Amino acid sequence: MSQPLRIAVAGASGRMGHMLIEAIAASPDCQLAGALDIAGSPALGQDATAFLGRTSGVAITSDLRAGLANSQFLIDFTRPEGTLAHLAVCRELGVKVVIGTTGFSDAQKAQIAEAAKDTAVMMAPNMSVGVNVVLKLLQQAARALAEGYDIEIIEAHHRHKVDAPSGTALKMGEVVAQALGRDLKSCAVYGREGVTGERDPSTIGFATIRGGDVVGDHTVLFAGIGERIEISHKASSRATFAQGSLRAVRFLAGQSKGLFGMDDVLGLA
């Protein structure tokens, strides 16, 4: 039997960190090799799988190099600044990175692309297999409904999410805009208030909902005269993101360097 894939998890004490660690622990071909959290976290020093009622021998640390010392891969669902700091060290050490963090600026995305010249990076705004299938469906729908349909994207997430619209909603907008030959930056409308005038048919609208413990709901609405087409994805558990992340790790195991997306992982490219 081949050696297990040695994986470190950033944000190990958070909701997504726990889900990733649980998924790694349940996968025979994967092994938890590092657990990272921010300095000052009350979880520092604790065994990373203590929340599962078991011990792994991996203590949660804020020392990035120590946390990556035995790791081949890092899965990172944190914040843009933290992810970039982690990526810089991973680039130096040759650790491959799965990035599920959202909210990157164009300049930050360029930094990630630069790092991918030296190590393998898989970055996607959503690791769900279902969401990435939906992105392909949106390409087809947008091309077929290019005339006479208004396009609106509605997304909902839990109260703790800090960026809006979600990275997934923006990716959906990018996919639709590209299929229509438009630039999302010039046609996106992120809010409406007051007397806005009639809707510009060339725009793509976004609506954001934040509340409770919603894991993630996304709907793209194509509204025509006499009919509406809705393409939706609703996540009921973060487990889908964790399983998608492990599929990304397995894909990166065969790559030495380069920047990839979930469409590469799933063979949808």
Distance between CA atoms of 32 and 20, rounded to whole angstroms? 10
Where residue 171 falls (left for φ over 0; alpha for ψ -120 to 50; beta otherwise) is alpha
Where residue 103 falls (left for φ over 0; alpha for ψ -120 to 50; beta otherwise) is left
Distance between CA atoms of 155 and 134, rounded to whole angstroms? 14
- Is 158 designated active site? no
Which one from 157, 171, 218, 233 is the annotated catalytic residue?
157
Phi and psi for 204 in degrees, rounded to 5?
A: -120, 120
Nearest to 138 by CA among 169, 104, 103, 106: 169
- Is 96 designated active site? no
Distance between CA atoms of 167 and 176, rounded to whole angstroms? 14
Contacts of 161 (CB under 8 A, 6+ apart): 210
Active centre residues (catalytic): 157, 161
